[in-house]
Amino acid sequence: MVLLAGLLPNPKLETSVLSISLNTCAMVYMIPLGLSGATRVSNELGAGRPQAARLAACTAVFLVATEGVVAAIVLILVRKLWGYCYSTEEEVVAYVAEMLVLLAGSHFLDVYDLIAYHNSGTARGCGWQKIGAIVNLGAYYLFGIPAGVILAFVYHFGGKGLWLGITLALFAQALLLLIVTLQTNWEKQAKKAADRVTSELPNIEENTE
């Protein structure tokens, strides 16, 4: 996204603001990342507790959804001041204020994607890394980047267009992972996890000997 920003009419401003936005996004992302580590779907499935795995997933979704709303509100409230942490140029500060409104929306979607796939997520907890990889590839590289390029260069939204492309990618990713989560058969996944553990026991015993 930053590389594409260098091709926009005002590359110095665009790359500066996008870098600030990405830095802010990464910083705020650490909060739900920490929350997601508190609940582990895979642990409960491995222990043969499908209902506990479902509760872990629901709890994680509730926690990060609450954090997403609070963080989005804070970002919107400080949007006119946040740019001063990085620059004293009014043009940069004003542009950052506009970007933070978009960043607030993308962060809310990003925290759901974090729970649905990463760490304690349903897809990873159930051993569906292949599904997660396909969803990420399609959402970001086949949908998000082309959408961002069209919005930025065809419809002349500039850096905001690039960020909107990423936001659309997050929305597509969240929607697809939500469908996967809603269709999860927890009892079946718990049985599969138990079977995987049982199948690995002979190998573990051999290595121990």
What does the pLDDT read at residue 209? 54
Q: How many helices (H) and strands (E) does the chain have?
A: 11, 0
What does the pLDDT read at residue 15? 92
Is the model more confident about 99 or about 29?
99
Two tokens, residue 208: 């121990």
- Distance between CA 169 and CA 139 in Å, rounded? 5
- Distance between CA 56 and CA 52 in Å, rounded? 6
Confidence band for 197, pLDDT divided at 50, 70 and 90: low
Residue 92 sits at the vertex; the CA angle it makes with 88 and 80, to the nearest 5 degrees, is 80
What does the pLDDT read at residue 179? 81
Span 116-139, pLDDT tens digits: 555 445 666 566 677 778 888 898
CA trace torsion 154, 156, 157, 162 (10° rounding)? 50
Residue with tokens 């872990």: 56
Two tokens, residue 125: 């907890």
Span 54-103, pLDDT tens digits: 777 777 778 777 888 898 899 999 999 999 999 999 999 999 999 999 99
Q: Report pTM.
A: 0.76
What does the pLDDT read at residue 114? 63
Mean predicted confidence (pLDDT) in 187-195: 71
Contacts 24+ apart (CB under 8 A), 189-198: 189/45, 189/50, 189/53, 189/126, 190/44, 190/45, 190/48, 190/49, 190/50, 190/53, 192/45, 192/126, 192/127, 193/42, 193/45, 193/46, 193/48, 193/126, 193/127, 194/46, 194/48, 196/127, 197/46
Amino acid identity, position 135? V
Percent of all residues in the chain with a pLDDT value above 70, rounded to a whole number = 76
What does the pLDDT read at residue 115? 59
Write down the mean pLDDT value for the chain. 80
